[in-house]
Copies of this chain bind each other. A is one copy, B any other.
Amino acid sequence: MAFKGQAEYSVDSKGRVAIPAKMRKSLAPAANETFTITRGFEDCIFLYPMDEWTDIEEEIDALNMYDREVRNFVRLIMRWASEVSLDGQGRISIPNSLIDFVELDGSALILGAFDHIEIWDPEQFDGYLNEQPDDYETLAESVMR
């Protein structure tokens, strides 16, 4: 039940974005139509269904908070995080802080990314693709071994 596909949807004046119906169908019942939304890597937003996020929390819980680097990381990941649920129309509302952070204005690119969903500003994503030094085939060789 992994998240697949992409779609470009509008972000309305209230910061709401629809989650594609196909991705909604990939949601485990245990997720209870609820996500944890937070800052992603490389200037995008991560959307973890509740059941997946629980695993991440367990990993964080196992860290040693008396380590300075751990505190830095925990502050960065948790300060952007919040819980969001689907409304009756299958949308979530993105916190203003995250909209500013990834510079969303008007439209958003929704990406299925296996265990989570990503939200990008379409232009930022174009820029990200162009920055990639390695092509698809080279990446596959080095990652999948």
Mark contacts of A1-19 with chain B using CB atoms, 8 A cut-off: 1 yes-contact digit, 0 otherwise: 0111110000000000000
Kindly state whether residue A103 has any CB partner on chain B within 8 Å: no
Instruction: Kindly report which residue of chain B lies nearest to residue A79, judged by CB atoms.
Output: B6
**Contacts A78-B114, A79-B112, A114-B74 known; A69 to B4 CB distance under 8 Å?**
no
Kindly state whether residue A30 has any CB partner on chain B within 8 Å: no
12 other A-B residue contacts (CB within 8 Å) besides A42-B71, A76-B136, A78-B111: A2-B57, A3-B78, A4-B38, A4-B81, A5-B80, A5-B95, A42-B137, A57-B114, A72-B134, A73-B136, A73-B140, A75-B118
Kindly state whether residue A63 has any CB partner on chain B within 8 Å: yes
CB proximity of A2 to chain B, nearest CB, Å: 6
Inside 8 A of A5's CB, which chain B residues have their CB?
A: 78-82, 95
Oligomer: number of copies = 2
CB proximity of A136 to chain B, nearest CB, Å: 5
Closest 3 CB pairs of A and B: A4-B81, A6-B79, A73-B143
A83-B22 in contact (CB<8A): yes
Contact residues of A between 116 and 145, Cβ < 8 Å to B: 118, 132, 134, 136-137, 139-140, 142-144
Inside 8 A of A69's CB, which chain B residues have their CB?
A: 139, 142-143
